[in-house]
Amino acid sequence: MDHAITTRLHSALAQINGLILGKKTQIELAVACLLARGHLLIEDVPGVGKTTLAHTLAATLGLAFQRVQFTSDMLPADLIGVSIYERPTGEFRFHPGPIFNQVILADEINRATPKTQSALLEAMEERQVTQDGVTRPLPDPFFVIATQNPAHQIGTFPLPESQLDRFLMRITLGYPDPAAERAMLMGEDRRELLQRLAPALTPSDLGALQAEVRKVHVAPALVDYLQALIHASRESAEFVNGLSPRAALGLLMVARAWALLAGRHAVLPDDIQAVFPGVATHRLLARGSNRPQPELVAKLLSDVAIP
Amino acid sequence: MREGEIQLNRANLASLIAVLALLIVPHGDHLPWWLIGVLGLLFSWRLFLISIQGRLPPSWLLLPFTVSLIIGVYVEFKTLFGRTGGVALLSVLIGLKLMETRGRRDALLLVFLGYFLVVTNFLFSQSFAMAVYLLLIVTVITALLVGWNSVGWNRLEGFSPLTHLVTAGKLLLQAVPLMVLLFVFFPRIEGPLWRLPQDRSSAKGGLADSMSPGSFSNLSQSDEVAFRVEFLGTVPPHGALYWRGPVFEQYDGTTWSQIPLGSEPPAPVEGIGPAVQYQLTLEPHQRPWLLALDAPAQSPGNGRISDRMQAVANGPVVKRDRYALASWLDYRMGKQQATLMLQRSLLLPRGNPKARALAAGWKALPPAQRVTAALAYYDSQPFTYTLQPPLYQGDAIDRFLFEGRQGFCEHYAGSFVFLMRAAGVPARVVGGYQGGELNPAGNYLIVRQADAHAWAEVWLEGRGWQRIDPTATVAPDRVDLGLARSVAQSESLPMMVRVDANWLRGVRLGLDAAVNAWNQWIIGYTPDQQMKLLRQLGISNLASYQFVAWFLGMIMAMTLPLAAWLLWHLRGPNPPPEVKAWRSFCHKLEKAGVEVRPSEPPLALSQRACAALPEHAEAIATIIGQYLALRYLGEASAEGIVQLKQQIAAFKPRRT
C-alpha cells in the first residue's frame, strides 16, 4: 500500500481525535467500521458528541454528510426523495432525499416508525433505492451512522434483532474523562472547528484503504479462534441467540480493518478481542432481560481459550 | 444463593423435588407420623412456590424451624445418628434445603444427597423389589444430571428426557464391571455396624404351632412363598414331596398341639436307597422349626433334628435362611421307640363316642390291619375334600366322620389319628407342606403357603413310625398333582395356586426366579462366602497390604485401559510445532510467576510479561514476535520454528 495513504490515514485519525477529545478507541472503532464498509450504531445519551463524531468523520474523510432527525411522523419519502411533476417539461423529476449522501447521521433512529426504519435499513443493505420503479444507486462509499437513546424508550420503536444485525458495530461514547472535558471546555468552539475542518483523505484514498482491508492476511489459526468465539456465543445459555454468519463475516472484516489501523498486515487474536464487543454486544441479547449486556460479552471473551 | 449463580428453571427443580420425594417415600415406614407430615408440607410448599413463582421463605424464619425440627428428631429417637435417627435427620435437612434451593449449587448438593438417600434405603430393605426401584431412581437422578450438564441448568428447550435417560443408562451400564468387582471383593462387614435389615416376613401366615379347625384351609388362600428348593439331582415325584414341619401329639378335643421339644437325640432312622440332596431357602416365618423333606438324613447346618424327626432351628426364623440337607424318601424310623413317646401317642380326651365305637371294632385286628380298616372306612364313605369345610362343634370328630364328611387335610389327619389312638395304635399328626411347583424359569421348586398339609404317622411294631396320609385316600390328586387339581373348579384359590395357564402367572414365575437369584447371589453373599472365594484366590487376610494392593490393582486394571482409550479418543488433533513450543514458553512464564490465561491474546500477554519480567523483556518480545509471525502472519517456515524453539530453550527466567 502507498505509504502516503497510511500517513494521511493517521493524520486523519489525529484530526478527529483533536476534535473529539478522549475517545481514541471509539474513534478508531468507528473508522475501522467505515473501512470495513459497515454501518455504525451509536447508542448513547444526548449531548456526548454523536453528531460531532459523525460530522467530523465525514468532513475529515472528505465525504458528503447529511444529518436526518428521525421522528414518528417521518415517511420513507422524506428520506429517499420524491418525484415531482414539473409543468415546464411535463415530466416527473426525482428530487433525491438526504439518503443520497456518503455519510448519513440517522439521529434517534428508534423514533421513526418501523416503515421508515426499514426503508433506511433496506437502503443500507442493498446500497441502492428504488423509487417509482427506477433503481438508483447510492453514493460510494455509503456509511450510515445511526444513534439511539437507550434511556428514553417511551414513544419509540426499538429496532428488532433482524435490523440490529444490519449494523456492523455498535459503540457507546460515554462521558469524557475530566481532563478531556476540561480541554474541551477551555478550547475553541467545536462548531467553528468543524467549519474549518479540511479533508485529510480523498475519496479515492478511502476506496484504496477499503480495498486494502480485504487484503489483510488471516491465518487459519485465527479463523479457528473466530469460530470458537462464534460457537461459544451459540452454545451459551446466557444469550437468546448466538452470532449470525453475517456477524462472523463482519467480525473478520472489522478485525482486518483494526489490524490495518494498527499498521499490521495480518490479524492477531488481539484485534479480534478489540473489536469483538463492538460487533457482538448488540447482537447478543441477554436471556431474560432481552437487552445487550456488555459484561456477558466480556465474560464470553474471557471464557474462550485462544487455540 | 450467591449473586450471578445460574438458577434452575421450574421444571428442572420440580423434577428434582419429585425424585427426592420418591426416595423418602420408602422411609415412610420407619419415620414418625409428625415427621412425615412435616416433610409432606415442606415438599408441597416448595412445589407450590414453584407453581406460583413465589418467594422463598426468609432465613430468619427457617432457622428456628430448623432448630425445632432437629430437636424434634432428637426427642423422638434419642439420637441424631444411627440408622433411623440418621435417616430422619437427613430427610428433615433435605426438606429444609429445598426451601432455599434456587440455583445450581444447591441443586447439585440435593442431587448428591439423593444418591446418599438411595444408600440409606438399603439399610432398611435389601429386597429385590427395592433394588429394582432404587436402580430406576438412580437412573433418573443421573439423567437429571446428564440433562443439566448437556443442555444447561436454566433452559428447557433441548431437554429430551428419553435421550438423557438412555445416556444415564449407558453410563450406569459402563459402571457395571466396577460395581461387580466392588461387590465381590470389597470387604464385607459383618453387622452390627448398623442393625442389619430384616425384610419383614412376607409370609403373614404360615404354619401355626398348633392345628385347629380351619388353620390349614385358611392357608390354602395364600400364594405367599413358604420356601424354595433346589435339588442336586432329579426332582422326586410330587407324591413323595412331604415337607416335614411341626409334629402335633397333643389333642384337647379341638386343637392338636406340639409337646415342647426336649434335648433328646433324634429318632434312629435307617435310610433305604440313596439320599436326596437339596438346598432349601426358607422365608422367615417367626417360628423355630425348619422344613425338611421327610425324612432328614442329617442335621442342617443351622439347626438340629429333634426326637420327632423335626428339623429345628436354634431360634425363631426371623430372616431368610438357606441350608443344605439330604433326606431319605424311603426309611424306617423309630423302630425302637421310647415307651413314653408311644404312650403319649395314645392319649385322647373325652368325647366323640361314635368314633371310639368305630375304632373299638378294629381292636381285635393286628395293628397294621387296623390302619387298613380305617383307611377303608374313609374310602367307603362319601367323604369330600373341600377348601370350605363346615365348622364342626362339640364332638367335632364324630360330626365330621358321621355327619358332615366334608373336610380339608386337617380333618382327615386329625380324625385318622383319633381313630388310630382309639384303636390302640400310637399315632400323631405331622404338619408341613406337600408338593410344590417346579419353576421352569429357574429349575427350582416353589412351595407356597397353600401347599400346607397335615398327615398322620402311626407306629407299628417292627416297622417304626410310618406315614399314612388319609387325605390321599379321599383325594389322591391332592398328593399326586397338587391342591389345585384336587378341589372342585368352583372353589376359589389365589392366582398363583391355580392351574389355568395365565400369562401373568408366567411373568410372576419369571419374577420369582429373579427374586430367588437375588436372594441367593446378592443377599446370600456373606462374609464367609467372600472369604472362601478369596482363599481360593490365595488371599487369606482382608486386612493385609497384599489384599489392598491386589484390590486396587484390579480396579486400576479395569479403569486405566478405559481412561487411556478415552484420552486417546478425546485428544484433539496434534498441535502444530509452533503451538507446542508456545506451550512450553507459557509453562516457563508460569513458573516465573506470570499467570497465563488461555483467553489472553499474545500481544496483551507480551505487555504483561514484559512488565512483570523487565530483565527478560527483550527475549519475551522476540519470542512472542516470532510466534505471531509463524502462527498468524503467514510466515511459517521450518527455520522459523527451529528459531522459535531455540529462543524458547534459551529463555530461562528466574523465579521472582
Instruction: Give B18's contacts (C-beta < 8 A, 6+ positions apart).
Output: none
Nearest-Cα distance to chain A for B86, in Å, is: 39
Spatial distance between the Cα atoms of B559 and B567, rounded to a whole number of angstroms: 12
C-alpha cell at B104: 445450581
Q: Which residue of B has its CA nearest to A268?
A: B632
Domain boundary among A192, A215, A238: A215
Chain pair A-B, CB pairs under 8 angstroms: 49
**Do A199 and A252 reside in the same domain of the chain?**
no
Chain A environment of B633 (Cβ under 8 Å) = 217, 219, 264-266
Chain B environment of A223 (Cβ under 8 Å) = none
Contact A306 B599 (CB under 8 A): yes
Q: Could you say which DSSP state residue A80 is in?
A: H
| Nearest CA-CA partner of B304 in B336, B264, B335, B259 | B264
What pLDDT shows up at residue B156?
Answer: 60
Mutate to test the interface with A, among B580, B596, B632, B641 (most CBs of A within 10 A): B632
Q: Could you say which DSSP state residue A262 is in?
A: T
Helix, strand or coil, per DSSP, at residue B604: helix
Spatial distance between the Cα atoms of A89 and B121, rounded to a whole number of angstroms: 98
Residue ranges in chain A modelled with pLDDT below 70? 1-2, 151-153, 290
**Do A207 and A235 reside in the same domain of the chain?**
no
C-alpha cell at B555: 480396579
ipTM summary value: 0.83
Domain boundary among A190, A215, A240: A215
- Tally of structural domains, chain A: 2
Residue ranges in chain B modelled with pLDDT below 70? 1-6, 152-159, 190-205, 488-491, 495-501, 654-656
Contact A237 B603 (CB under 8 A): no
Domain enclosing residue A261, as ranges = 216-307
Contact B113, B94 (CB under 8 A): yes
**Do A89 and A11 reside in the same domain of the chain?**
yes
Among B152, B154, B604, beta carbon nearest to A270: B604
Q: What does the pLDDT look like over B612-651, one tens digit per residue?
A: 888 888 888 899 989 988 888 888 788 888 988 888 888 8
**Do A150 and A274 reside in the same domain of the chain?**
no
Among A267, A270, A304, beta carbon nearest to B602: A270
β pairing state of B256-257 and A81-86: unpaired
What pLDDT shows up at residue A87?
Answer: 86
Spatial distance between the Cα atoms of B243 and B280, rounded to a whole number of angstroms: 11
**Do A38 and A68 reside in the same domain of the chain?**
yes
**Do A106 and A162 reside in the same domain of the chain?**
yes
**Do A134 and A283 reside in the same domain of the chain?**
no
Of the CA atoms within 13 Å of residue B486, those in its CB half-sphere come to 26
CATH number at A257 reads 1.10.8.80
**Do A99 and A226 reside in the same domain of the chain?**
no
Q: What does the pLDDT look like over A47-79, one tens digit per residue?
A: 888 888 888 888 888 888 888 998 889 888 888
Put simply, whether A125 touches B (Cβ < 8 Å) is no
**Do A174 and A264 reside in the same domain of the chain?**
no
Chain A environment of B573 (Cβ under 8 Å) = none
Domain boundary among A166, A198, A215: A215
Nearest-Cα distance to chain B for A221, in Å, is: 7
What pLDDT shows up at residue B495?
Answer: 65
β pairing state of B303-305 and B427-434: unpaired
Instruction: Give B401's contacts (C-beta < 8 A, 6+ positions apart).
Output: B354, B355, B358, B381, B415, B419
β pairing state of A91-96 and A81-86: antiparallel
Q: Tell me how far CA of residue A74 lies from CA of A77, A110, A113, A117, A272, in angstroms.
A: 8, 12, 7, 10, 38
**Do A243 and A202 reside in the same domain of the chain?**
no
Q: Tell me how far CA of residue A286 lies from CA of A244, B56, B100, in angstroms.
A: 15, 25, 25
Contact B521, B144 (CB under 8 A): no
Chain B environment of A266 (Cβ under 8 Å) = 632-634
Spatial distance between the Cα atoms of A88 and B166, rounded to a whole number of angstroms: 82
Contact B309, B258 (CB under 8 A): no
Q: Which residue of A has its CA nearest to B572?
A: A307
Among A222, A301, A303, beta carbon nearest to B632: A222
**Positions of B marked catalytic:** 409, 453, 469
What pLDDT shows up at residue A23?
Answer: 87
What pLDDT shows up at residue B203?
Answer: 42
Put simply, whether B628 touches A (Cβ < 8 Å) is yes
Q: What does the pLDDT look like over B508-517, one tens digit per residue?
A: 888 888 888 8
Spatial distance between the Cα atoms of A119 and B297, rounded to a whole number of angstroms: 104
What pLDDT shows up at residue B490?
Answer: 66
What pLDDT shows up at residue B308?
Answer: 85
**Do A190 and A270 reside in the same domain of the chain?**
no
Burial class (CB in 10 A: 0-12, 13-18, 19+), B627: buried
C-alpha distance across the termini of chain A, in Å: 31
Spatial distance between the Cα atoms of A241 and A234, rounded to a whole number of angstroms: 6
